[in-house]
A and B are shown apart, each in its own frame.
Chain A
Amino acid sequence: MSGWLAYFWDRRAEIAALTGEHVVLVVLSTALAVAIGVPLGVALTRRPRLARPVLGFANVVQTIPSLALFGFLIPMPLIGGIGARTAIAALVVYALLPILRNTYAGISSVDPAVVESATGLGMTPRQRLALVELPLAFPVVLAGVRIATVVSIGLATIAAAIGAGGLGVLIYRGVAIVDHRLILAGAVPAALLALAADGLLGWIERRVQP
Chain B
Amino acid sequence: MRGEDPIALRRRLGYVIQEAGLFPHWTVRQNVEAVPRLLQWKESARRSRSDELLALVGLPAAEFGERRPRQLSGGQRQRVGVARALAADPPVLLMDEPFGALDPIARRAMQREFLDWKQRLGKAVLLVTHDLREAFRLGDRVAILDRGRARQIGTPREILESPADDFVREFVSDEVTP
A residues engaging B (CB < 8 A)? 111, 113-114, 116-124, 127, 131-132, 135-136, 210
Contact = CB atoms under 8 A, between A and B. Distances in A.
A94 B133 CA distance: 59
B22 A117 contact: yes
Interface stretch (B5-13, B147-155, B160-168): B5-13
Chain A interface helix/strand/loop/mixed: helix
9 contacts: A117-B20, A117-B81, A121-B10, A121-B34, A121-B38, A122-B35, A123-B38, A127-B38, A210-B24
B26 to A, nearest CB: 9
Interface of B: 7-12, 15, 17-25, 34-35, 38, 81, 84, 94
A73 B9 CA distance: 53
Contacts of A210: 24-25
B17 A121 contact: no
Contacts of A131: 23
A121 B24 contact: no
A121 B8 contact: no
Given A116-B17, A127-B38, A122 B11 contact: yes
Nearest to B38: A122
B4 to A, nearest CB: 12
Given A121-B38, A131-B23, 12 more contacts: A111-B21, A113-B17, A116-B17, A117-B23, A118-B23, A120-B10, A120-B21, A121-B10, A121-B34, A121-B35, A122-B8, A132-B23
A116 B17 CA distance: 8
B24 A116 contact: no
Contacts of B94: 120
Given A122-B7, A122-B8, A114 B21 contact: yes
Contacts of B12: 122
Contacts of A113: 17-21
Report, nearest first, the 9 A-B pairs whose CB atoms are least far apart: A117-B21, A122-B11, A122-B10, A210-B25, A120-B15, A113-B21, A113-B19, A135-B25, A122-B7
B17 A124 contact: no
